[in-house]
């Protein structure tokens, strides 16, 4: 049973004060300052007047910024979808592997997750650029196919043109999938691992194929895991800064990049503050939606 | 409980597996389409990292064609003063961040687990916020906080000049530690605590001799998490770092902007190896813990 704090006031104070004080001073206060700034305006190079204006939020609704918000949502959405499509079979395979294999596979999926994000992005650049390994492999295939065509008496293909895989939206999505895949696989795995396997066996015994069993038995049973996988992939993907910054081109800016610019180069803190709170509200909406769906599915189940 | 589940499974599966060439209906891992997907995913995850590590040994200025084996880039990286300083800064920040986060996280976990108090839901909710708030938002908040509200004194001697970054890291790392430790605490038998107190142990003694040993695996896992979160962080550091407090990721970022030499590969390889070793130690410690418990 939990104890009321009155029973041991001294112990409670000793335990509760440090974390609460830290959280207040070094998290809530900074957040509150940003929130206050979002209703202010620049009156000088470094002075900000808290005038209570909504101008910053109204400016965020201009088509230019609205478009960036929309783009970020779409990019994060596609990333999440791709992670789900790739992650689900992987999680399924891990959940049904032999115990020894299972722990190795889990370790292999988790290890990149522990590696530095910047290093992983840097590694991806070396692979994707025009003089990178993806293009080298494709060139080799191309030249061989071309040689084969000559061999059977047809016109060869001509010179290989390296694909531009970097500095565009595709690169951003590839990078985000690369970084966030473990986020998706792990919750999916834990949901699939807890699932009652006899239901799958029953479905297979009764003549349903594997696809059908997965679609109408496994997916509904693993729905909570799928929902939380979607959420913890979508949220960081939506606020991603580094990946669009390093892998994206001039047109692949996401919200985080715009926020950064307001605080560093453009030096428009109030507007940046408003944008970052809008991003935060979007995050909260996503969490609330997930909680709502979760509760609904629990009630049904 | 979870362990039993893992070890009980193969016994169910074993009779079926006597005929080795016929995979059972649920042995997805033995069906080729899934094998292909798993292998392809692993290649996708690892090929870039392995190439990066391999080319740190390449005898060429450019990361493109293999020219022969060399360890020159490691020598260069170790002689690059600012890169080395950034590396040491990162490890120092991660070290202090881990200590503070583990203490605060453990206290927060005990507080939420042990006490009922007014405003508990609010505290619990705020404690979860740093985990869900986008990094960029926390980054800019920290930038403004250290620029306007509580300027960190300039020109402090090392390592005190890293204070602002360390504080920022602790703010997002300790709620993670609290979550991990709290999960561990839920398996604690509260009667043990009462027994200790009945036998005359003080509040402090009970905490230290009964509760802390029980929390230990959670504390280790939490420490590992805090360390990697801190070492990994770019965005929040990017906003709190000054010109003389560059961390490794921020340094690599600026190197990427100018020129990429295999020096970056060499330094990255060192960091990857450090992380892998730490993870291995952490997992080993957890394994030993669970083995001791079983014995």
Report the range of poorest mean pLDDT among A52-61, A114-123, B61-70, B92-101: B61-70
- Cβ–Cβ of B136/A246 closer than 8 Å? no
Looking at the domain assignment, is residue A13 inside a domain?
no
Read off the tokens for A138: 């494709």
Please tell me which residue, B203 or A25, carries the higher pLDDT value: A25
Chain B residues whose CB is inside 8 A of the A123 CB are 48-49, 51-52, 268
Q: How far is CA B261 from the centre of its chain?
A: 28
Nearest by CB to residue A2, choosing from B6, B51, B114, is: B114
Q: How far is CA A18 from the centre of its chain?
A: 32
The residue among B66, B141, B166 with the most chain A CBs within 10 A of its CB, best to mutate, is B141
Burial class from Cβ neighbours inside 10 Å (0-12, 13-18, 19+) for residue A299 reads: exposed
- Cβ–Cβ of A235/B190 closer than 8 Å? no
Parent domain of A293: 62-129+165-300
Nearest by CB to residue B115, choosing from A5, A95, A117, is: A5
**Interface predicted TM-score (ipTM) of this complex, two decimals:** 0.86
- Token pair 């081109």 is found at A249
Strand locations in chain A (E): 3-4, 41-42, 48-49
Question: pTM of the full predicted structure?
Answer: 0.85
Q: Is there a contact between A239 and A222 (Cβ–Cβ < 8 Å)? A: no
Q: pLDDT at position A57, please?
A: 92
Closest CA to B85 of B225, B273, B243: B243
Q: pLDDT at position A174, please?
A: 93
Query: Distance between CA atoms of B222 and B106, rounded to whole angstroms?
Result: 9
Closest CA to A176 of A44, A80, A60: A80
- Cβ–Cβ of B111/A123 closer than 8 Å? no
Q: Is there a contact between B235 and B135 (Cβ–Cβ < 8 Å)? A: yes
Query: Distance between CA atoms of A138 and A53, rounded to whole angstroms?
Result: 55
Phi-psi region of B155 (alpha: psi -120 to 50; beta: other; left: phi over 0): left
Q: Is there a contact between A251 and A267 (Cβ–Cβ < 8 Å)? A: no
pLDDT, average across residues B108-116: 91
- Cβ–Cβ of B108/A19 closer than 8 Å? yes
Read off the tokens for B246: 């560059």
* Structural domain total, chain A: 1
Strand locations in B53-110 (E): none
* Segments making up each domain of chain B, as ranges: 2-70, 74-294
| pLDDT beyond 90 at B149 | no
CA of A233 vs chain B CAs: smallest distance (Å): 11
Q: pLDDT at position B10, please?
A: 44
Q: pLDDT confidence of B29, banded at 50, 70, 90? A: low
Query: Distance between CA atoms of A221 and A82, rounded to whole angstroms?
Result: 21
- Cβ–Cβ of A34/B135 closer than 8 Å? no
Q: Is there a contact between A116 and B268 (Cβ–Cβ < 8 Å)? A: yes
According to DSSP, residue A7 is labeled: G
Query: Distance between CA atoms of A68 and A271, rounded to whole angstroms?
Result: 15
Query: Distance between CA atoms of B112 and B101, rounded to whole angstroms?
Result: 16
Q: pLDDT at position B22, please?
A: 58
A173: domain CATH number?
Answer: 1.10.3720.10
Nearest by CB to residue A27, choosing from B130, B248, B268, is: B130
Query: Distance between CA atoms of A173 and B116, rounded to whole angstroms?
Result: 45
- Cβ–Cβ of A178/B44 closer than 8 Å? yes
Q: Is there a contact between A185 and A87 (Cβ–Cβ < 8 Å)? A: yes
Q: pLDDT at position B6, please?
A: 42
pLDDT less than 50: residues of chain A: none
Question: Computed over its alpha carbons, how large is the radius of gyration of chain B?
Answer: 24
Beta bridge partner(s), residue B69: B58
Please tell me which residue, B27 or A227, carries the higher pLDDT value: A227
Torsion sign across C-alpha atoms B141, B147, B151, B154: positive
Beta bridge partner(s), residue A49: A41
CA of B130 vs chain A CAs: smallest distance (Å): 8
Cα angle A36, A38, A40; round to 5 = 80
Please identify, in words, the CATH class of the domain defined by B74-294.
Answer: mainly alpha
Looking at the domain assignment, is residue A50 inside a domain?
no
Closest CA to A51 of A270, A279, A247, A225: A270
- Cβ–Cβ of A123/B148 closer than 8 Å? no
Looking at the domain assignment, is residue A10 inside a domain?
no
Q: pLDDT confidence of B12, banded at 50, 70, 90? A: very low
């Amino acid at each position: 049973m939990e104890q009321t704090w009155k029973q041991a006031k001294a112990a409670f104070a000793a335990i509760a004060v440090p974390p609460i004080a830290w959280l207040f001073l070094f998290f809530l206060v900074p957040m509150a300052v940003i929130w206050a700034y979002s209703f202010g305006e620049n009156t000088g190079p470094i002075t900000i007047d808290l005038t209570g204006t909504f101008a910053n939020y109204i400016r965020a609704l201009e088509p230019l910024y609205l478009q960036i918000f929309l783009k970020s949502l779409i990019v994060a959405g596609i990333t999440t979808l791709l992670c789900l499509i790739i992650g689900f079979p992987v999680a399924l395979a891990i959940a049904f592997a032999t115990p020894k294999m299972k722990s190795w596979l889990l370790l292999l999926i988790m290890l990149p997750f522990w590696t530095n994000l910047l290093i992983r992005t840097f590694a991806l650049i070396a692979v994707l650029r025009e003089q990178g390994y993806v293009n080298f492999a494709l060139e080799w295939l191309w030249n061989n196919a071309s040689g084969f065509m000559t061999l059977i008496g047809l016109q060869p293909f001509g010179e290989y043109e390296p694909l531009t895989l970097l500095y565009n939206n595709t690169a951003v999505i590839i990078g985000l999938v690369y970084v966030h895949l473990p986020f998706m696989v792990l919750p999916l795995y834990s949901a699939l691992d807890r699932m009652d396997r006899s239901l799958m066996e029953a479905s297979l015994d009764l003549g349903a194929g594997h696809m059908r069993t997965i679609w109408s038995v496994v997916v509904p049973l693993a729905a909570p895991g799928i929902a939380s996988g979607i959420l913890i992939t979508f949220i960081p993907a939506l606020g991603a800064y580094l990946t669009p910054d390093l892998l994206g081109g001039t047109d692949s800016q996401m919200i985080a990049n715009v926020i950064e610019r307001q605080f560093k180069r453009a030096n428009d803190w109030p507007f940046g503050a408003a944008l970052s709170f809008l991003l935060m509200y979007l995050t909260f909406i996503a969490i609330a939606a997930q909680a709502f769906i979760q509760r609904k599915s629990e009630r049904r189940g | 409980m979870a362990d039993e589940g893992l070890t009980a499974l193969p016994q169910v599966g074993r009779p079926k597996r006597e005929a080795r060439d016929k995979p059972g209906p649920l042995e997805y891992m033995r069906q080729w389409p899934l094998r292909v997907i798993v292998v392809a995913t692993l290649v996708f995850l690892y090929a870039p990292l392995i190439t990066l590590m391999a080319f740190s040994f390449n005898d060429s200025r450019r990361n493109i064609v293999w020219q022969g084996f060399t360890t020159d880039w490691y020598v260069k990286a170790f002689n690059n003063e600012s890169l080395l300083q950034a590396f040491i800064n990162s490890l120092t920040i991660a070290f202090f961040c881990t200590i503070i986060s583990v203490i605060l996280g453990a206290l927060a976990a005990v507080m939420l687990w042990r006490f009922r108090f007014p405003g508990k839901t609010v505290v619990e909710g705020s404690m979860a916020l740093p985990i869900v708030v986008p990094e960029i938002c926390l980054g800019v908040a920290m930038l403004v906080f250290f620029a306007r509200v509580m300027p960190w004194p300039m020109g402090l001697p090392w390592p005190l000049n890293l204070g602002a970054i360390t504080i920022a890291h602790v703010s997002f790392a300790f709620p993670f530690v609290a979550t991990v430790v709290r999960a561990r605490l839920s398996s604690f038998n509260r009667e043990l605590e009462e027994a200790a107190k009945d036998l005359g142990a003080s509040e402090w003694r009970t905490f230290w001799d009964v509760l802390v040993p029980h929390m230990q695996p959670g504390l280790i896992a939490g420490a590992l998490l805090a360390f990697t979160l801190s070492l990994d962080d770019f965005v929040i550091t990017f906003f709190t770092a000054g010109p003389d407090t560059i961390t490794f990721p921020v340094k690599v970022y600026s190197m990427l902007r100018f020129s990429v030499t295999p020096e970056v590969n060499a330094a990255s390889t060192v960091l990857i190896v450090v992380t892998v070793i730490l993870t291995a130690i952490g997992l080993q410690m957890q394994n030993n813990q669970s083995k001791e418990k079983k014995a």
